[in-house]
Structure 1
């Protein structure tokens, strides 16, 4: 691997800011000159420390965007779709054509996923959940979607689909690492992808981009959020300063 590995997810978030500055100076300048017109969404769990590093460098706020896999009934490790907190659903139609699931199976799995998202929203004390709340947060803003890395990118694709319907000014995807094919596919769905570590390896793992990789627990995420200067899960009010 020619790319020097990240020390941590927080450091990766800081490096993403440097990467944006080097890649597109006009975007970087817009952020620094118009912080109130920009907002970030972190995909938990791994996207949270990335967002901390990213937002600390730019003085931006972020919130969580909880996306959950809609699981195959007889294989709970795999999914045939994804759902976002506003109820947006993205189905893998190609996979569904092979699975031979009934509409009842699909509806049941989708409802289970909806309840999982509701539980996580409650766990994180989410203070806004309606479509109108999301529209106020996203409409005509420069939006950054953050995660610690991508594999297939299907979960992130659902997040992109959700954000698009609220008419943002622009959507940027900022991730520390991803496979080349995924960046090419998702690059067609957003204004630009920022990814310093793009690999074309036959066997790809997000963990390989980090020196010290481990799965983050819910308690660790809560600790980060409870002490963060940049996490903002409050409803957005037009005409008011919503940046801490």
Structure 2
């Protein structure tokens, strides 16, 4: 169990550095909680930290049931099985994607205010505080690819076995320090796992790098 997101990031930093073995990289923290985990990693690697936004799409009337995600740069992931099971049509998907894209744009304006920087030859290391289904991370990965990132990797303190297998299909590598079976709630693997407010995220970004 990790004390909090910052201590989890400090633990994860050595594993990421070892995996990179000196390769050039850029570190992206998935807003919001992933930014707090990513900061110690960026510091360990002496690289700047960028915030990356991807918004989960919940099922109608069940916002906590993720059926997809949309990233700030247009990457999308959809759980086709869930969408078919719930009988959600193309019009619903288009509307949900547009709403998620609008929310991502709003968050980018608040968190960063400039286009996401990508170096095609560097390893883009995407960091989150925990990965249950992998939907938002996949959308973020696809968004990075749309921006020209040719090598992407994923790191998290804790993740489900299924999500790591899913992410490994599109990332150069995906690692987690803990892969419990079953995963349960991500927050159960932290002593402190409070929601991250925008103000806290902005403070971390203001002192990162």
Q: TM-score, normalised by structure 2?
A: 0.90
Alignment of 1:112-151 (within 5 A): 112-128=99-115, 134=116, 137-151=118-132
Determine if the alignment matches structure 1 residue 215 to structure 2 residue 198: no
Which of 13, 27, 46 is 1:17 aligned to?
Answer: 13
Distance in 2, matches of 1:73 and 1:64, equals 28
Q: TM-score, normalised by structure 1?
A: 0.78
Unaligned runs of 5+ residues in structure 1 are 31-36, 129-133, 231-244
Shift of 1:167: 4.2
Distance in 1, matches of 2:179 and 2:67, equals 26
For the aligned residues, what is the CA RMSD? 1.9
**Equivalent residue, structure 2, for 1:155:** 136
Distance in 2, matches of 1:165 and 1:125, equals 19
Which of 171, 175, 193 is 2:174 aligned to?
Answer: 193
Determine if the alignment matches structure 1 residue 78 to structure 2 residue 39: no
Alignment of 1:1-244 (within 5 A): 5-21=1-17, 24=19, 27-30=20-23, 37-128=24-115, 134=116, 137-201=118-182, 204-226=184-206, 228-230=207-209
8 Å Cα contact 1:153-1:182 kept in structure 2: yes
Shift of 1:111: 1.7
Unaligned runs of 5+ residues in structure 2 are none
Shift of 1:157: 1.2
8 Å Cα contact 2:118-2:148 kept in structure 1: no
Distance in 2, matches of 1:219 and 1:166, equals 27
